[in-house]
Amino acid sequence: MTNAIAAHAATQPCAPARFTLEAVSPAIGAEVAGIDLRETLDEATIAALRSALVQHKVLFFRDQDITAAQHVALARRFGELEVHPVFPHHADHPELVLLGGTQASKARENIYHSDVSWREIPSMASMLRCVECPRSGGDTIWVNMAKAYADLPQAVKDQLADLEAVHDIMPSFGSRMSAEERAANRAKFPAVTHPIVRTHPESGEKILYVNEGFTTHLANYLSKGTFRVGFDYRYGEFELLQYLFRQAAVPEYQVRLRWEPNTIAFWDNRSTQHYAIQDYFPAVRRMMRATIIGDKPF
């Protein structure tokens, strides 16, 4: 804990919050009211927020004018925080990544993805605060990937049993690195394999866990069947993966947030994907994100 965070925690009382939840869409998302995230919340409130997160998958908080130190301290109540190896960081708090383009270049998060699925131990959740945003545009979409899996035809579920997928940092982030940085990050973050259908460690839900941002191919598709010639399995693998990617684009599984300054979105990376819509360039949207380390998918 940094000195700034410790000082804040020491001067703020523990406040038992009595918040309310209102569902935003039938499939995913709830808006939280009656809570002030500048205060140090008691353990019961943190536990209630975590339970709401697991249930609703993403929580929205409006009008939360918190400092960077308060942002880090709040996110840390839910677990250890990561330091992202590529995104720029807050000068005083490396756990906070700075997101958003400039008037000269667009941001590039407009692809369905789950944060850092390329890690051997991906994230549990992310907490994103809007610092500055345009008056229109720049919305973010979240997707309930547990529902996406539940609604798959049984024949597809049978096909997915025991299949694994490879997740890799390089397709999305390699172009931001020099050759030396690519070599160093490849050594530090080799491609990893996760089950296509992971189990949520808290709810027990089955989740479709592939995303077009970081999933490159299926690890063991060839071992799952007998194929006539090579292109049968090569095209079969490609077509199955593309079909699974498309599930995130189904509107019935989604919720869409219109950002305002000091809005916070807190989402479960284990059971969701998200897409940051890049329709506002050359206007600027500036965000800060803390990401909470999770557990190895199973």
Catalytic residue positions? 113, 115, 274, 289
Q: Using DSSP, state whether 280 is helix, strand or coil.
A: coil
Task: Tell me the DSSP string of 70-111.
Answer: HHHHHHHTTSPBP--SSS-B-SS-TTEEEE---SSS-----S
Tokens representing 99 are 């997101």
Task: Tell me if 202 sits within 8 A of 54, measured CB to CB.
Answer: yes
Nearest to 45 by CA among 5, 15, 72, 80: 15
Kindly report the backbone phi and psi dihedral angles of residue 50, in degrees, each rounded to the nearest multiple of 5, phi listed first. -65, -40
Tokens representing 276 are 């940051």
Eight-state DSSP code of residue 12:
S
The residues, ordered by sequence, that sit 6+ positions from 155 with a Cβ below 8 Å of its Cβ are none
* Burial bucket for residue 135 (CB in 10 Å: 0-12, 13-18, 19+): exposed
CA distances from residue 293 to 53, 77, 117, 199, 210 in whole angstroms, order as listed: 15, 12, 11, 17, 18
Kindly report the backbone phi and psi dihedral angles of residue 80, in degrees, each rounded to the nearest multiple of 5, phi listed first. -65, 145
Q: How many Å apart are CA 247 and CA 15, to the nearest integer?
A: 41
